[in-house]
Amino acid sequence: LRQGIAEVIYGAGKTAEQIAGIVEAMKKRGQELVLITRMDPEKARHTEELLKQKFEDGAGFRYFDGTGIGICGDFPEKDGVGTIVVATGGTSDIPVAEEAALTAEALGNQVERLYDVGVAGLHRLVAHMDTIMSARVIIAIAGMEGALASVIGGLADCPVIAVPTSIGYGASFHGVSALLSMLNSCASGVSVVNIDNGFGAGYLASMINHMKG
Amino acid sequence: LRQGIAEVIYGAGKTAEQIAGIVEAMKKRGQELVLITRMDPEKARHTEELLKQKFEDGAGFRYFDGTGIGICGDFPEKDGVGTIVVATGGTSDIPVAEEAALTAEALGNQVERLYDVGVAGLHRLVAHMDTIMSARVIIAIAGMEGALASVIGGLADCPVIAVPTSIGYGASFHGVSALLSMLNSCASGVSVVNIDNGFGAGYLASMINHMKG
Amino acid sequence: LRQGIAEVIYGAGKTAEQIAGIVEAMKKRGQELVLITRMDPEKARHTEELLKQKFEDGAGFRYFDGTGIGICGDFPEKDGVGTIVVATGGTSDIPVAEEAALTAEALGNQVERLYDVGVAGLHRLVAHMDTIMSARVIIAIAGMEGALASVIGGLADCPVIAVPTSIGYGASFHGVSALLSMLNSCASGVSVVNIDNGFGAGYLASMINHMKG
Amino acid sequence: LRQGIAEVIYGAGKTAEQIAGIVEAMKKRGQELVLITRMDPEKARHTEELLKQKFEDGAGFRYFDGTGIGICGDFPEKDGVGTIVVATGGTSDIPVAEEAALTAEALGNQVERLYDVGVAGLHRLVAHMDTIMSARVIIAIAGMEGALASVIGGLADCPVIAVPTSIGYGASFHGVSALLSMLNSCASGVSVVNIDNGFGAGYLASMINHMKG
Amino acid sequence: LRQGIAEVIYGAGKTAEQIAGIVEAMKKRGQELVLITRMDPEKARHTEELLKQKFEDGAGFRYFDGTGIGICGDFPEKDGVGTIVVATGGTSDIPVAEEAALTAEALGNQVERLYDVGVAGLHRLVAHMDTIMSARVIIAIAGMEGALASVIGGLADCPVIAVPTSIGYGASFHGVSALLSMLNSCASGVSVVNIDNGFGAGYLASMINHMKG
Amino acid sequence: LRQGIAEVIYGAGKTAEQIAGIVEAMKKRGQELVLITRMDPEKARHTEELLKQKFEDGAGFRYFDGTGIGICGDFPEKDGVGTIVVATGGTSDIPVAEEAALTAEALGNQVERLYDVGVAGLHRLVAHMDTIMSARVIIAIAGMEGALASVIGGLADCPVIAVPTSIGYGASFHGVSALLSMLNSCASGVSVVNIDNGFGAGYLASMINHMKG
Amino acid sequence: LRQGIAEVIYGAGKTAEQIAGIVEAMKKRGQELVLITRMDPEKARHTEELLKQKFEDGAGFRYFDGTGIGICGDFPEKDGVGTIVVATGGTSDIPVAEEAALTAEALGNQVERLYDVGVAGLHRLVAHMDTIMSARVIIAIAGMEGALASVIGGLADCPVIAVPTSIGYGASFHGVSALLSMLNSCASGVSVVNIDNGFGAGYLASMINHMKG
Amino acid sequence: LRQGIAEVIYGAGKTAEQIAGIVEAMKKRGQELVLITRMDPEKARHTEELLKQKFEDGAGFRYFDGTGIGICGDFPEKDGVGTIVVATGGTSDIPVAEEAALTAEALGNQVERLYDVGVAGLHRLVAHMDTIMSARVIIAIAGMEGALASVIGGLADCPVIAVPTSIGYGASFHGVSALLSMLNSCASGVSVVNIDNGFGAGYLASMINHMKG
Ligand SMILES: Nc1ncnc2c1ncn2[C@@H]1O[C@H](COP(=O)(O)O)[C@@H](O)[C@H]1O
Ligand SMILES: Nc1ncnc2c1ncn2[C@@H]1O[C@H](COP(=O)(O)O)[C@@H](O)[C@H]1O
Ligand SMILES: Nc1ncnc2c1ncn2[C@@H]1O[C@H](COP(=O)(O)O)[C@@H](O)[C@H]1O
Ligand SMILES: Nc1ncnc2c1ncn2[C@@H]1O[C@H](COP(=O)(O)O)[C@@H](O)[C@H]1O
Ligand SMILES: [Mg+2]
Ligand SMILES: [Mg+2]
Ligand SMILES: [Mg+2]
Ligand SMILES: [Mg+2]
Ligand SMILES: [Mg+2]
Ligand SMILES: [Mg+2]
Ligand SMILES: [Mg+2]
Ligand SMILES: [Mg+2]
């Protein structure tokens, strides 16, 4: 992360030992905040132990249940221009949403969460019209039919970053249905990142939210 | 069509001569209404001529511009229970919508058209809330991201027949994006027919609309 | 479920604790019947224990072996207009079929099961001609080549809801073969729901079966 | 064709000049029967002219309208063991069926045609039960949902060669739907050739029909 | 299996209890030979125990290591007309090959095995030219590039049944590469069954090998 | 276009008459700038004639050769915050690039074009390092392997909007290769729009470029 | 082309005027040999005329019928180390083969052509065993099942560059079948270029053939 | 491996017993170096034990952690002409890279490793310009967007063998994204092997690197 505020480790293919080692190196370089993504609870517990051996304060490691994310250090001050709204279609999309939200927070952004506002229950979304209209960037996260991005894109006038998720079964094809849906959005201002890529959406949202006029 | 009211000819792979011949045979058998789908204007003009040679009144043939549909005979009385609403996401979906609507009308149904009410402009859809809530069956037709079916399915309490269309470009993959989107709909009461299959949707809607309690 | 008779919990991504919690909340709201889908036996056992701790009568929880379905409360009176027939191509399709059948029963429908009547043994299907001809709605469930929907659609005059299943191997591609087959059905009156979506089919069938003339 | 009775030219990528040239060479080598597949009417007319210039009797060239097939010479005696039945789901499949049937006839087989007996109208198929049960080999040809092969395979006890056709639209994906359906057939004794490959099916059927006990 | 000689149970989705129960029922009906496919060693062991409890001779159950196949009863006399050759491209294809070979043997055929004769080492195939030329039917089994079917089809004059296998990695896509390769074979007389469908190939080969002239 | 500055007509499925009619209506509503995309030269010529009949100044219509774009009215003042860079991998991508660039210009943005700087000739890209580093938003447009987005995303610190194009042959699959490549970009700050969707990219870039600090 | 001997113009998306212009510029820079690929006969004729207006000798332009290739200037001396063999499965693959062969010749290589030696007629291939064994690089070109690359790769000990072609129909999917087949080749020393990319294969073969020991 | 220097065993589908048996047979035939690929640590440990029972020196077996590769015997002298560079986009690609590098070393080549030089951080690649420009063959290995092959192919003048890896998530589709990207490379001199096929790339690179001028 060039912005210097936070460093991110992609935890998926790494052992607890490797992760703890990278955290140690980063901390020694003076990095204040380190975010680790895609870590299952077991690996997180093991990483925590290792960090406790390496640092008196365990490098300030905390694990966010049900998100796959661990963080070492304190969140920075919120220096973004406006608010980033993170919306999901269902509750199963929350891990991806938290990856986006925590990334954005780690990069100094005010984040508002709107979870489980999928289009099959439009009233839940409409109830949050104010939040949507006052956002500076919106991250729309959905699996299955992925219609959320289009509906939000049609309502809001700010950039919408769409994140398809692999949630679903059958013809959702592990996120392909939502991905195609989002790429075909008829609403202007919508762009798309990879399936389940909460980090990428949070990072891009932060970048836009930090642009000076 | 077992219901006896109308017969349908799938015009796509047939010559004007073949179509006129089948119409002639049907008329001779006493069939009052014949619907011909997927006929380009050129073929329609040629069929019309041939029917004028065969019948004094040209078998009552009329062609509906921009729909691919020709009809011989008069629409029957409307004996369905309620109204079938035919909604489209965009104006490019109208030919498929008319295939559905005219099929339903030819089978004796009251049809209400809601065209160009796609989810990127949700207000246009919401403006017709009454129509949606009072429908007995809704046919939701959309290409690109196909979100219309989910949104309508979430609002209405009646069966929704979703028709993906091949309208779009790039990652719409000739209707695949809309098809997957519709199959993955989180709204209950939604089922799907083949890409561009307006006829199938109109037929099924009529079947449901004629069910006695 | 708007119809108020039953509530459904999608159990796939939820823990036993979460499920028991939702059941508790629903029961407190006065909900009489709660259906839980996609629960493996282990999770069901655990849910049962938790419910026994929460309710004297264990909330009336019963688990249906080999179906993934648990039910709290008694089935309502059958107030649908006619009979819903649930047919499968093979015995491996039965879990999906039971999801459909139990959903329909939970919503107050008379259900008749025709299992293992696949088209490779047409005589088994033909032996039940009466059942097929007298159904108000038919749910046709099949994996592999998915031909059942077309054959039934050709025989019956009522709406046929086709459910492709992920049963099969090789070029069945986890339900894609059956899905495409069903979408391409040449029989009129057939529509399709997502692969393995027994619930969606049961719900839609109930909706149609409750329509007053 | 090793069997020496007939030679086949694949006409698709060849000019009339090339085809006439190959026919000439084959005739000079003493070949009595030459079959040319995949020739559009225009190319056939041009080939006919060229052959009239080369041979007094125009090499006995005849073109079969609506099949893409031209033949030079007389059909051989029927020396196969039994009858090859060629069945199609619809009328649009007939060109592929004729490619199969004429190939089989050119190789000395008795052929019986059962066209338009698709499973959406099962009674038309059942009306020909005798023909099906007495066949030595059956070629089942269908586009769209391709269910014909399974149904016939379930009824008959002889080898069934399934030919998917590219007939259809939308989710038929130019024959993929029928192909997958046929590969997944639950009926024993069914094998599959390439989409639209009437020639390959006719050749294999002849091979089997000429096997001595 | 209509031919009465053997019955086959598809073991993949069934428990040992279910399998033993079906075997028992078949034996009671007087069935002499029962073949069970797709049974892992653990399930086979368990089935064996259960059969020992039900029958004094354990119903004659034997399990063939590395093939997934169990058999109850003795192989019948070989009453087929000629020899069925079962050839594989590699050694990993052998389980599928044994499914084909044992099925054919259970149906009364003389089978000759040619394993690991893939086209990347053509000399191994050519060394068995005699076997290939004298076969009545050949089953060509291969994963990866699946070229074996074309090469054998080009050499032999008898029907070739091609079985793609899911062996491979990367762009083999679990058998799709081999499947497409085989469907596109330029050799005449080749037809294809589903990926890994050794049983289907063995059954069809037996059917052809039992045809009387 | 909500921003009021320009209106855009998607010309692909419309006749010249329809386009001229819409322009007329917009002009009557007081719209100063109208952009028409996806218009072939023939349709543009015809539209021009019709507009000359309707307006004395032909509504100020100009057609941009080789881009598919026509414009009525004058470009607005450039009121965006910084510069939008539009980069392409090859010369064949230019029509899509011009759709993006002209859209951005029509919405009041300073645009800089970097065409034919694909990664197979990295030096051409590196020669424009200054332009890349000083951009506020970059639109990276490429077909074939689509690597441009990743390389630019790795170099620049601003948002990169990636547009895959359908340029290529064989395994480019009409833009799928570039689309997947861009979705999988390892560079942060990259998001993707539909294949060939120059308009969408230009619109989103303008939105970001107009955000006040 | 860095090697300086020849320049190549990709003619597919260019007009005759553009091509003639580029040739003129190259010739002025002193380039002796210019190769133009993917030019249809009509465009070639027009280019020839334009070059005749620009150069007295028409820039030495010659068009190779049925290959899409035009050449300005004389082939250079053959300075490669050995011989490049260009083999095709069928006659329809020849245009791609000539693109490869002429590219290699334009770059100073000795080329030997082995056309129509597909694996369904292995004897034709085996008849050229000497040529295959003495090649320095082999380009194996095939559509349909693409088995040629594996068979040649198994026989030869030199690098084999496989070129899938889009020749075929049905399940050849415009070259996908051949592409997958070649990627999965079990023979060592085989690598693959894009579908129909004769130029790329010819260029790489020349590169290898010019490597000094 | 025909070159006689080394033999390779594909370990994926084999048991430790089978592997040890093959090693024993090869050693008895006098083979000095045996490479075993795709062996997990557990299987390697077991193989090691078995080899210790069979050979006093355990057949010289060593396992390379994190690569899946085991080797029996000493690496041969380096007799290749130049250096083979093995480059990867990320650290997760290293197992595939080591398969390529160790294969090349086992075949007598000088190998230089350039790991984690992906295009999202171009400076890391550019820092190794000398290595790239002086290579005789380059193996470019990358997952996700696979752009590395194009960038290296554009920089270097030697043959580039591209290896897509299955590393990634979402729209990487287990290596398909990288595969397509590499097949579409606009850089000349690039060819592709199967996803994750490090062995095939190492073998081909060695073949080229041993060609005498
Ligand atoms: N969940 C994620 N999805 C995609 N990319 C990520 C994710 N988490 C981290 N990254 C990226 O991976 C980089 C770190 O990768 P690594 O050096 O392998 O730990 C970060 O700088 C991010 O660019
Ligand atoms: N097996 C199923 N497949 C698809 N949807 C289901 C299934 N079971 C329940 N649902 C839907 O999921 C909703 C409950 O979801 P949840 O609130 O996540 O438990 C129900 O109202 C149904 O609409
Ligand atoms: N319609 C067809 N589809 C597939 N293969 C065909 C067809 N017609 C002819 N063939 C085959 O093509 C061979 C002749 O090809 P050719 O030498 O190119 O004319 C014949 O021997 C047949 O094997
Ligand atoms: N048939 C072809 N297929 C792929 N690439 C080609 C072909 N012909 C030429 N090229 C490449 O295209 C470049 C020229 O492209 P252009 O500048 O657009 O004419 C050449 O240097 C080659 O790298
Ligand atoms: Mg918007
Ligand atoms: Mg609803
Ligand atoms: Mg029906
Ligand atoms: Mg049968
Ligand atoms: Mg043969
Ligand atoms: Mg960047
Ligand atoms: Mg070789
Ligand atoms: Mg290069």
Question: From first to last of its 213 residues, what are the pLDDT tens digits of chain H?
Answer: 444 678 889 999 899 999 999 999 999 998 989 999 999 999 999 999 999 999 999 999 999 998 999 999 999 999 999 999 999 999 999 999 999 999 999 999 999 999 999 988 889 999 999 999 999 999 999 999 899 999 999 999 999 999 999 999 999 999 999 999 999 998 999 999 999 999 999 999 999 999 987
Across A100-117, average pLDDT:
97
Each residue of G82-99: pLDDT tens digit? 999 999 999 999 999 999
Each residue of E127-173: pLDDT tens digit? 999 999 999 999 999 999 899 999 999 999 999 999 999 999 999 99
CA nearest ligand 4 atom 17, residue: G9
Does pLDDT of C86 surpass 50?
yes
Q: How confident is the model at residue E120 (pLDDT cuts 50, 70, 90)?
A: confident
Each residue of E42-81: pLDDT tens digit? 999 999 999 999 999 999 999 999 899 999 999 999 999 9
Q: Which chains touch H (3 or more CB pairs under 8 A)?
A: A, E, F, G
Each residue of H69-109: pLDDT tens digit? 999 999 999 999 999 999 999 999 999 999 999 999 999 99
Contact B170 F195 (CB under 8 A): yes
Pick from A195, A199, A203 the residue to mutate for testing the H interface (most H CBs within 10 Å): A195
Across D102-109, average pLDDT:
96
For residue B157, which residues of chain A lie inside 8 Å, CB to CB? none
Residues with Cβ within 8 Å of residue F80, at least 6 apart in sequence: F107, F108, F109, F110, F136, F206, F209, F210
Please name the member of D92, D170, D172 whose beta carbon is closest to the beta carbon of B166.
D170
Each residue of G32-79: pLDDT tens digit? 999 999 999 999 999 999 999 999 999 999 999 989 999 999 999 999
Lowest mean pLDDT among B3-12, D8-17, F134-143: B3-12
Q: Which residues of E139-173 are buried (b: 16+ CB within 10 A; e: fewer)?
A: bbbbbbbbbbbbbbbbbbebbbbbbbbbbbbbbbb
If 0-12 CB within 10 Å is exposed, 13-18 middle and 19+ buried, where does residue B18 land? middle
Q: How far apart are CA A69 and CA A100, in angstroms?
A: 10
Q: Which residues of E81-95 are buried (b: 16+ CB within 10 A; e: fewer)?
A: bbbbbbbbbbebbbb
pLDDT of residue G2: 40
The most confident of the ranges B163-167, E3-7, F123-127, G9-13 is: B163-167
CA nearest ligand 4 atom 11, residue: G10
Give the closest residue to B79 by CA, choosing from B103, B108, B107.
B108
pLDDT of residue E4: 62
Residues with Cβ within 8 Å of residue H65, at least 6 apart in sequence: H41
For residue A176, which residues of chain B lie inside 8 Å, CB to CB? 180
Across B96-119, average pLDDT:
96
Searching chain F, which residue's CA lies closest to the CA of residue H178?
F181
Does pLDDT of D77 surpass 90?
yes
Contact A188 F1 (CB under 8 A): yes
In the chain, the amino acid numbered D128 is H
Q: Hey, what are D78's tokens?
A: 């029927």
Please indicate whether residue B5 or residue A177 has the higher confidence score (pLDDT).
A177
Q: How confident is the model at residue G119 (pLDDT cuts 50, 70, 90)?
A: confident
| Residue count of chain G | 213
| DSSP letter, residue G174 | G
In the chain, the amino acid numbered C124 is R
Searching chain F, which residue's CA lies closest to the CA of residue G198?
F170
Q: What are the residues facing F160 on neighbouring strands?
A: F138, F190
Give residues 57 to 86 of G whose Cβ lies within 8 Å of D.
none
Alpha carbon separation from E167 to E65, E144, E185 (Å, rounded): 18, 6, 19
Contact G113, G101 (CB under 8 A): yes
Across B75-103, average pLDDT:
96
For residue D169, which residues of chain B lie inside 8 Å, CB to CB? 12, 194-196
Q: Is the ipTM of this complex over 0.90?
A: yes
Each residue of E71-112: pLDDT tens digit? 999 999 999 999 999 999 999 999 999 999 999 999 999 999
pLDDT of residue C1: 41
Q: Which ligand is nearest to the CA of H1?
A: 11
Contact E194 D184 (CB under 8 A): yes
Ordered DSSP codes for C155-169: H-SS-EEEEE-----
- G111 φ, ψ to 5°? -120, 135
Give the closest residue to F180 by CA, choosing from H169, C8, H28, H200.
H169
Query: CB-based contact (8 Å) between B211 and chain A?
Result: no
Give the closest residue to B69 by CA, choosing from B104, B29, B27.
B104
Type and span of the H or E element at H174: none
Q: Verify whether ligand 4 is closer than 6 Å to residue G21 (CB atom).
A: no
pLDDT of residue B1: 41
Under-70 pLDDT residues of chain F: 1-4
Q: How far apart are CA C33 and CA C4, in angstroms?
A: 9
CA nearest ligand 3 atom 6, residue: D10
3-state secondary structure G7-23: EEEECCCCCHHHHHHHH
Each residue of G150-209: pLDDT tens digit? 999 999 999 999 999 999 999 999 999 999 999 999 899 999 999 999 999 999 999 999
Alpha carbon separation from C105 to A119, A193, C99, C161 (Å, rounded): 28, 42, 10, 16
Which residue do the tokens 């048996």 mark? H21
pLDDT of residue F121: 83
pLDDT of residue D177: 98
pLDDT of residue D36: 96
Report the mean per-residue pLDDT for chain G: 94
Contact D170 B194 (CB under 8 A): yes
CA of B59 vs chain C CAs: smallest distance (Å) = 26
Lowest mean pLDDT among A122-136, D86-100, G3-17: G3-17
Query: CB-based contact (8 Å) between C147 and chain D?
Result: yes
Q: Verify whether ligand 3 is closer than 6 Å to residue D9 (CB atom).
A: yes
Q: Which residues of A144-153 are buried (b: 16+ CB within 10 A; e: fewer)?
A: bbbbbbbbbb
Q: How far apart are CA G41 and CA G58, in angstroms?
A: 17
Contact E197 C170 (CB under 8 A): yes
Contact F100, F201 (CB under 8 A): yes
Q: How far apart are CA H137 and CA H81, in angstroms?
A: 10
Residues with Cβ within 8 Å of residue F211, at least 6 apart in sequence: A81, A136, A208, A211, A213, F81
Ordered DSSP codes for H116-163: S--GGGHHHHHTTHHHHHH-SEEEEEE-TT-THHHHHHHH-SS-EEEE
Contact A81 F211 (CB under 8 A): yes
In the chain, the amino acid numbered D105 is E
* Alpha-carbon torsion (A24, A28, A29, A31), positive or negative: positive
Long-range Cβ pairs for the range E28-31 (8 Å, 24+): E31/E6, E31/E7, E31/E73
pLDDT of residue C4: 64
Contact A171 C166 (CB under 8 A): no
Q: How far apart are CA E124 and CA E115, in angstroms?
A: 10
Pick from E184, E188, E191 the residue to mutate for testing the G interface (most G CBs within 10 Å): E184
Query: CB-based contact (8 Å) between F200 and chain A?
Result: yes
pLDDT of residue D168: 95
Report the mean per-residue pLDDT for chain C: 94
Q: Which ligand is nearest to the CA of F133?
A: 10
pLDDT of residue D119: 87
Q: How far apart are CA F11 and CA F72, in angstroms?
A: 14
